């Protein structure tokens, strides 16, 4: 699938037709969003490289970081719990700055 964009150049009074792939279109929609294009797994793996499970539990008090922590169980919990996912994403943004 290819998207066709039509724009008008006021300077030259010419119609411009551009072809763009859906992937490039998708990636161009939020260029300033640091979470754009990042999966929850990528965010969690980044945080684990930066912090340990114990440190994650101290920063965000969630049982999935405390009792038998694993990427799989944490992803399952975070996907089902919007407030917890939001806290993880906020911590990720903090560590980027």
Number of domains observed in the structure of the chain: 2
Is residue 23 domain-shared with residue 44, that is, in the same domain? no
Integer Cα distance of 38 and 60 in angstroms = 20
pLDDT of 38 over the 80 cut: yes
Is residue 26 domain-shared with residue 53, that is, in the same domain? no
Tokens of 76: 């399952």
Is residue 53 domain-shared with residue 19, that is, in the same domain? no
The predicted structure's pLDDT at residue 52: 93
Integer Cα distance of 89 and 65 in angstroms = 15
Is residue 70 domain-shared with residue 91, that is, in the same domain? yes
pLDDT 10s digits, 14-36: 656 556 555 555 555 666 788 88
The predicted structure's pLDDT at residue 22: 56
The predicted structure's pLDDT at residue 81: 94
* Structural domain that includes position 24: 1-31
CATH at 92: 1.10.720.30
Greater pLDDT, 36 or 43 = 43
Mean per-residue pLDDT of the chain: 81
Q: Which helix (H) or strand (E) holds 9?
A: strand 3-9
Is residue 22 domain-shared with residue 46, that is, in the same domain? no
Greater pLDDT, 8 or 89 = 89
pLDDT of 48 over the 90 cut: yes
Phi, psi of 75 (to 5 degrees): -65, -40
Is residue 52 domain-shared with residue 79, that is, in the same domain? yes
Is residue 7 domain-shared with residue 24, that is, in the same domain? yes
pLDDT 10s digits, 66-89: 999 999 999 999 999 999 999 999
Is residue 71 domain-shared with residue 88, that is, in the same domain? yes
């Amino acid at each position: 699938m290819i998207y066709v964009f039509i724009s008008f150049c006021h300077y030259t009074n010419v119609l411009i037709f551009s072809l763009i792939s859906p992937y490039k279109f998708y990636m161009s929609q939020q260029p300033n969003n640091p979470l754009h294009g990042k999966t929850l797994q990528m965010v969690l793996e980044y945080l684990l490289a930066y912090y340990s499970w114990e440190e994650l539990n101290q920063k965000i008090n969630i049982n999935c970081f405390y009792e038998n922590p694993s990427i799989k169980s944490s992803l399952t919990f975070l996907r089902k719990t919007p407030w917890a996912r939001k806290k993880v994403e906020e911590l990720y943004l903090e560590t980027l700055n």
